[in-house]
Structure 1
Amino acid sequence: MTAVLVAAAAFLMTLIGGFVAQRTRDRRHLVLGFAAGLMLGVVAFDLLPEALHQAPGEVHGVPQALLLFAAGFLTIHVIERAVAIHRGHEGEYAAHSHGHHHGDARSAGHQGVGLTAALALVGHSVMDGFAIGAAFQAGTTVGTVVAIAVVAHDFADGFNTYTITRLYGNNRRRALTLLAADAVAPVSGAAITLAFTIPGHLLGLYLGFFSGFLLYLATSDILPEAHSPHPSRSTLLCTVAGVGFMWLVIGFAG
């Protein structure tokens, strides 16, 4: 039940991210930089160690959890390439910063791309909720740090869902509808885990896979987006602060 309550916090954070996207201009890079740091911290300091503990077996000399880690990273990379939703961050955010009419004129006829990207983020948010539930099954400490990272980066998810939907020429109502779906998704994912207990070995494999998924989002989506408007030392410091914060959280929780 704790997992569902935490997922409800992710629900609220996703909505906040979406609404901030409608109003924020020059400060979003700091929030996204911090979120990327949290994601990196939770992967390096908690998810991967727990995955290796739960699934220590090896395949051809490599731990199974690390094979799934690589598979998770490559899976989201291949999916993004296949459906062409990995944005050219600099060009599109430069256009977006001058107003929606620029983006709409440039991306006329590409509304479907925006919808595909937003739906992919919704699917990812379902996985976020599933990860929260699975992490709490692994233990309260793991669940807590995963929850903090997921809730923090769901702000970025909400922000991205609204922004990219509008960027490709979709109207505000459609963007808000997808934002609402993205907000509900982690609650649904967490609720699924209430129906069954995941065996330890499978849990380790899943955590390894999700680690790769999360690292890809942090390094290939969130960080480039944070630095694209105007790269700055403050953004970099926020990322380092996010990593440091997660180190402290895990240290105190342990």
Structure 2
Amino acid sequence: MAVLVALGAFLMTLAGGWTAQRVTDRRHLVLGLAGGLMLGVVGLDLLPEALRAAGTEVFGVPAALLLFVGGFLLAHLVERLLAVRQVAHGAEEAGRATGPAGRSADGRVPEVGLTAAAAMVGHSAMDGVAIGAAFQVGGGMGTAVALAVVAHDFADGFNTYTITSLYGNARRKAVAMLVADAVAPVVGAASTLFLTIPEPLLGGYLGLFGGALLYLAAAEILPEAHHDHPARSTVLCTVAGVGFIWLVVGLAG
């Protein structure tokens, strides 16, 4: 049953990526919505679940929050290190293809987008694991978790394609990451037939990933959305993205 439900997540992820591709003429609105979806997923879904699952404290601070901050800092560090490496070792051929020192035309480092998308794929695989684990507990819990996962996988597909392409990667790479993100929940759900991930470990992972995702939303996606089009419509898209995730979480609860 869990694998069949994960196939729904597969389709919803592809639908999210397809939507992101079709609205390129409204790029600022796409990025505004993506930022809102990412903020909503982190604040209303990932972080609460991480705090619940990883309940231990380290020097008076929940372990999930420490990993959340660590994920934020790790994303910042990875971006800076990749940028420095590209400047130091960028080849002339890469410069002709994507801009000075191997960067995209707007100065972004493509590897950052691929790294972020790979993290999204990992998160989607854990979504599949969550579906399988919930169905092991009971049908009611499995249904509730499946509803939340399938609904927000639309946002995952949307964000995976947007993040990959935002950093100057070719369309084929963005599509490849989208397909990987769509397949990941199915693989994750299937894996629960053979293994069970300890809940504290799962909570720690969600906290770490949430911090990295928040960094991308706050430091990259939303500023880019408002760079050329500081319009109220972009802000409304961001608010709508958060509201959509809130609705999904509320219905699942």
Cross-structure match for 2:211: 212
What is the aligned length?
225
TM-score, normalised by the number of residues in structure 2? 0.75
CA distance in 1, matches of 2:102, 2:65: 37
Cα deviation for residue 81 of structure 1 reads 1.0
Task: State the shift of 1:34 in Å.
Answer: 1.9
Q: 1:145 to 1:33 in 2, by over 3 A?
A: farther
Q: 1:208 to 1:122 in 2, by over 3 A?
A: closer
Is residue 40–residue 241 contact of structure 2 (8 Å, CA) maintained in 1?
yes
Q: Secondary structure at the match of 2:168?
A: helix
Local SS of the residue matching 2:83: coil
Residue 55 of structure 2 is aligned to residue 48 of structure 1: no
Corresponding residue number in structure 1 for 2:58: 59
Question: Match for residue 22 of structure 2?
Answer: 20
SS in 2 for 1:197: coil
Aligned to 2:239: 240
SS of the residue aligned with 1:227? Answer: helix
| Offset, 1:83 | 0.4
Deviations 1:95-149 (A, max 9, x none): xxxxxxxx97981562697552453244233223224224433654455435534
CA contact under 8 A between 2:31 and 2:162: conserved in structure 1?
Answer: no
Say what the alpha-carbon RMSD is for the aligned residues: 2.9
CA contact (8 A) 1:145 1:246 kept: no
CA contact (8 A) 1:132 1:147 kept: no
Q: Which position in structure 2 is the counterpart of 1:107? A: 99
1:125 and 2:117 matched:
no
Task: Give the letter aligned to residue 119 of structure 1.
Answer: L
**SS in structure 2 at match of 1:165:** coil
Q: Is the 8 A contact 2:32 2:234 kept in 1?
A: yes
Give the Cα–Cα distance (whole angstroms) in 1 for the partners of residues 203 and 35 of structure 2.
23
| Identical pairs, percent | 44
When normalised by structure 1's length, the TM-score is 0.75
Q: Counterpart of 2:230 in 1: which secondary structure?
A: coil
Structure 2, unpaired ranges of 5+: 85-94, 135-140
Q: CA 1:181 to 1:220, structure 2 compared with 1: closer, same or farther past 3 Å?
A: same
Kept in 2: contact 1:14–1:182 (CA 8 A): no
Unmatched runs of 5 consecutive residues or more in structure 1: 86-102, 167-174
Q: Distance in 1 between matches of 2:217 and 2:149?
A: 14
The one-letter code matched in structure 2 to 1:244 is G
Q: Say whether the 8 Å CA contact 1:72–1:210 is kept in structure 2.
A: yes
SS state of the match for residue 197, structure 2? Answer: coil
User: Does 2:171 match 1:176?
Assistant: yes
Q: Which amino acid aligns with 1:233?
A: R
1:35–1:152 CA contact under 8 A, matched in 2? yes
C-alpha contact (below 8 Å) 2:103/2:109 kept by paired residues: yes
Q: 1: distance between equivalents of 2:72 and 2:9? A: 25
